[in-house]
Amino acid sequence: MAITVKTKIPKPAKKTSNVSGVDMAALETELDKNSSWGSYAAAPVFSAKFDKSKKVSEITVALKPVITVPKWNEYARSTKKRQAEWDRMIKALEKYLSSLHALMLEAVAKFAAEMKDKDLDKSGLGAATKEAKAAFAKAVKDYTSKTSNGSSVGVYLDYIEPDPATFKKTVPAPKSSTYTVAGKTIAAVFKVLDKRSFWGRYRSHPKYKASFQLDGHVKTFTLTSKPTIIMPKWKDYSKGNKGQKASWDSMWKSLDVHEKHHHTIFSDCVTQLGKTVISTEILEEDLEEFWKDETSSWQDKQDAFDDKTDHGANKGVVLDASSDP
């Protein structure tokens, strides 16, 4: 009498296991701690009915298939490109695990076909089911080996670079302020100015703040500045003669050009900073040192301009006292 084989095989239940990582390399490290990135389990159970002669008349094969895939805890806080790569891998993993289930179904169908013409008692049933479980496991194992746990069919993660940082800046035109210089003659004014560390002064007052990506790279770098130019004001200008006023006006105009060029240097440095921030992978832990190095180089450029122009003296920042009475 032929053995009837029945099956109870529902669709695989889906479960998730949590995994943490700030980028693809960290995720790989965590995922590799398991024997595979996802898993398929069927838990086959065999039950039988016997006829009066204690021969097997019916076998029921029941499976409780479960597919487990990882869930990335930090997914929502990651970059869109990394999310896309994770989604691609998960899709490939689910397809791979579905293939394992399909192989299990084939193995069950093969077992059913082999049992039709068998003549089994209880002891023979035990041997047959033991052999069947081994065959089921081998079908899955052979495919996992063939695909290197799915890596050859897409179950891997490509390294995705961090997103380029966004650079924002606020660099308004310099605000002007003055200080007063007293003196009835150009020579007297010069003596007062000569005691000062500067005749005109430019200050950019830059500050920065930043936000960061999940992996610690800069997400948004925002620079703000409040540039100022301080210029001299001759208290007794109105009392000067035509030649004295012309001397003062010429010096003042050249000094104003000089200080405004300091602002141009700063603006150019900020532009270059933006290019560097966007093109360089800067980590949060390195940002303060990066900022110090950048602003130090800015000051070097400002100092070089002052050295080249002798603080504007060889570009007209001089006072001619020949018109003094």
pLDDT of residue 2: 85
Q: Residue 1: its pLDDT value, please?
A: 64
pLDDT digits (tens, 9 = 90+) for 227-237: 999 999 999 99
Pair 317, 254: CB distance under 8 Å: yes
Of 87, 206, 209, nearest to 157 (Cα)? 87
With a pLDDT cut of 90, the percent of the chain lying above it is: 98
Mean pLDDT for 4-22 is: 97
Q: What is the pLDDT of residues 245-271, one digit of tens each?
A: 999 999 999 999 999 999 999 999 999
Task: Let me know how long the chain is.
Answer: 325
Query: Distance of CA 138 to CAs 7, 54, 135, 144, 220, Å?
Result: 20, 31, 5, 10, 52
Query: In the structure encoding, which two tokens stand for residue 33, read together?
Result: 């701690």
pLDDT value at residue 42: 96
Distance of alpha carbon 213 from alpha carbon 160, whole angstroms = 13
Over the range 33-68, which residues count as b (16 or more CB within 10 Å of their CB) and which as e? eeebbbbbbbebebebeeeeeebbbebebebebbbb
The full DSSP string for 6-53 is EEE-PPPEEEEEEE--SSHHHHHHHHTTSSSSSEEE---EEEEEE-TT
Q: What is the pLDDT of residues 73-98, one digit of tens each?
A: 999 999 999 999 999 999 999 999 99
Global model pTM greater than 0.75: yes
Q: Read off the pLDDT of residues 124-176 as tens digits, 9 standing for 90 and up.
A: 999 999 999 999 999 999 999 999 999 999 999 999 999 999 999 999 999 99
Are the beta carbons of 231 and 176 closer than 8 angstroms?
Answer: yes
Burial annotation 197-209 (CB, 10 A radius, 16+ → b, else e): eebbbbbbebebe
Which residues, listed in sequence order, are joined to residue 283 by a DSSP beta bridge? Answer: 217
| Three-class secondary structure of residue 293 per DSSP | helix
| Torsion sign, CA atoms 5, 8, 11, 15 | negative
Average pLDDT over residues 43-48: 96
Tell me which H or E stretch contains 261: helix 242-279
The DSSP call for residue 321 is G
175: left (phi over 0), alpha (psi -120 to 50) or beta: beta
Is residue 324 scored above 90 in pLDDT? yes
DSSP state of 86: H
Residue 288, classified by CB atoms within 10 Å of its CB into exposed (0-12), middle (13-18) or buried (19+), is exposed
- Return d(Cα 51, Cα 120) in angstroms, integer: 11
DSSP 115: H
The amino acid at 197: S
pLDDT digits (tens, 9 = 90+) for 269-289: 999 999 999 999 999 999 999
